[in-house]
Chains A and B, each alone.
Chain A
Amino acid sequence: MPEIREQVDVCVVGAGHAGCEAALACARLGLETVIFTVSVDSIALMPCNPNIGGSSKGHLVREIDALGGEMGKNIDKTFIQSKMLNISKGPAVHSLRAQADKSEYSREMRKVLENQDHLTVKQAEVCELLAEDLNEDEKCTAKKKIVGIKTFTGAVYECKSVILCTGTYLKARCLCGEAITYTGPNGLQPANHLTDSLKDLGIEIRRFKTGTPARMDRRSIDFSKMEEQFGDEKVVPFSFSTNPDDVQIDQVSCYLTYTNEKTHEIIKNNLDRSPIYAGVIEGTGPRYCPSIEDKVVKFADKERHQVFIEPEGLHTNEMYVGGMSSSLPEDVQLAMYRTVPGLEHCKIVRNAYAIEYDCIDPMQLYPSLEFKEIKGLFSGGQFNGSSGYEEAAAQGLIAGINAAQSIFGKEPLILDRSEAYIGVLIDDLVTKENFEPYRMMTSRAEYRLLLRQDNADLRLRKKGYEVGLITKGQYDYVCNKEKMIDEETNRIKNTMVGASKEIQQFLEKMGSASLKTAASLAELICRPELNYELVSEIDEKRKPLPYDVIEQVNINIKYEGYIERQMRQVKQYKKMETRKIPEDIDYGDIDSLRLEARQKLIKFKPVSVGQASRISGVSPADISVLLVYLEHFKERKALLDIDSKKN
């Protein structure tokens, strides 16, 4: 049978947020890349909430941008409202969130993909992975290597790497009460064939579930009964490359309203018709974005729940009803939505639904996002058991970078927990046992005072530059910024002010205690009521500096004690992180390990002692044992090497 047979470097399966980043990274690094999607019209689709960013997710977008990804740039081009969240709290938890014009977002990303050199967009369902057994001498942990993919129509693409970013499409099933359809999100065609091929390769599959609320016709909503919510007056862009002047646009509003007892009553009375409570749903759903049914049942004492009405774009009347995702039947949905103030006469454009899909347990992956058992196979996004556009994009970018690094014969890019939220995200995914779709949260980042959205460029530009996704010019800019920050921080620390009359007057004016002896400007900045900008009056030698430099100087000085404490913790953490575990270690050989620890270590194959210590069921004593063993192992190996040289 004649068939199409092509040779490329990388095949990316899926063109959602993970797939787009993965494909762009590979193509930009010069690799011939094909990105497959079941529908070219649904590239970078946002099938759920119409926003990018938010607490900790905003950090991810910043990091993606610092490494050379696309998400930040794309939302800067297509947002319709933007807010910096948590500004009343510490700088580490400030987080950007922007409402997107969904169709614009999708269209812009498609444009970027279509105009990227070395990248081909292809509409086709990939239904088989082609793999070969590794030769005896190539064998390590992996037993197979990827050699290509096959589409439903029979076309074969030979390649060196495959990146799976299938999102929620694998064997997808949507539920709206008793009505069940076998479709992907938004009624799109699901991918029903790939799962079997994955299983044949020995990949373990599991099933997760998520959901989305209804969309309503703007004309049917009475906004006068709701609280209007505006965007920030001064918008901060996501991307470090976006000119801040370009994002000062006219913004649209969102609206806040609440559920009430009547809403809850309708839900309670119809629980038996909810697929979740009726036991129809088999997948595990996330606890952090519970359906309204879940909220009402689990938090029965809460009299009301917030509902956010958000526009889906400038050129549509559809409005997203945040806070009320559901899988109840259509009639119950309409009744319950209509109890909410402002929604009394609402017309539903799209019903709320729950979706179930196949995904993997990501402990089958290395932190590079390559499968432990199959060389050249990478994966990212919801397929890895995460949730959220930003989490997906972050993984897609790392999977793309590492597929390329592997083809180039370079070490993978692995960010650790002290370097980036992306590091926390991936480490959690591949190390900890997750039983629900994983969402990023600031509380998951133990070194978060260092992992701020404002310093993502300082943390990660260099890595992006080394990989090749950041230009020399962008990198030089950051180096220069760093230099200015250091110099100014030192100057402030070493600038002393005496207890002179002017100084005391200034302090009095600021409501700050007077000085008894001379103090440095830094000491003054540390006072809760003062900051870098406020003390400019008594800082005679201050030169004008860019805003982003000032911001860093202020944070460095104001929170120095806390930041230093975290740096010390990081140092401790790094010690264990840098102790690598050789791939050929035989845990069965270490009798002193407790049985549970041994089984877990064999299962997870941690790459470092640090990673091993985070696996549940591995105790500190097991880690001590492991350290002793590794020492022993190293020496023994050295002896063997000497022996083999002698022979």
Chain B
Amino acid sequence: MSITTPPKAGGATRPPGEPAPSVPIKAIKLRHPWRMVFAILLVVVFVSIVVDAALRPAYDWPAVGKYLFDRRISQAAVVTLQLTVYSMVIAIVLGVILAVMRLSPNPVVKSLAWFYLWIFRGTPVYVQLTIWGLISLIYSSIDIGIPFMDPWVSFSTNAALSTFTIAIIGLALNEAAYMAEIVRAGLLAVDSGQEEAATALGMSWSQTMTRVILPQSMRVIIPPTGNEVISMLKTTSLVTAVPFSFELFTRSRDISAETFNPIPLLIVASIWYLFFTSILMVGQYFLEKRFARGVGDRQPDRKDAVGTGTGTLTGVVPVIGSGQPSVIAPPRENDPPANPGGVK
């Protein structure tokens, strides 16, 4: 029972001053029998649900197969994508504007942005979409000109705004309120030293924003924005409130109203939604990787950086660019000396 004595075999040949080689641990592994039991139980439950679903006539799988690539459904899928992309693009632009307004030193600008958020975050999107649908009752014509004078141009609201346009406006204005908060959090997450450094270099406010602050805040903004896009894809199913009926969910409901067989069509719609959200998740992965440049990945060599986990970073990192030398690559063999000669 001697713990400190090194094995005899290596002792004789070891040069003096070198530490004794450590002895590998040989121990019997701790067993986790319950893990196996739970795993088997869960697999059994899962498989039985799947088998049951496959055999249950109410799901009517042949009908699912028949309608999955039905022309009306695939067209509706395209419309759903259009609604998502258009309203999200408008929402992001508007969200950036609102976020910058909320950080403005001007109290009027700040309050206006706050008021917008209060209204659009404080009421349900379904109610908002319904109100947008009734917009022509509230404003029968759209007039462009000087207030209280004869307008230069005047449109009938019904003629100017299709239900598709109204659906996009409704979704975008609601989403902008959420995007504003996400962008604001991203801007605030950038270390204040960054703005100072840019200012000290003589950069203007807009240069500081576009070149220094926004690119860095992207890292914080993108993960929640990805969630918002996925959420928006699903929220498009509410535009039936406008009423706009050419997107995936309403279309599949309309078809099942003819066939009196709603369940397979709901499954068809769900499969399409899942397909799109899966694609969006892959896109988000690559976007996050792109904006993680210079942060987190320890290897300067791009090839080595793959798999170090930068792309999978989905949490929100509160402070970036603080200049802390916390992430330092270990010195490599071919490193040049720290300061060859300094300034001459």
To the question of whether A and B form a pair in one complex, the answer is no
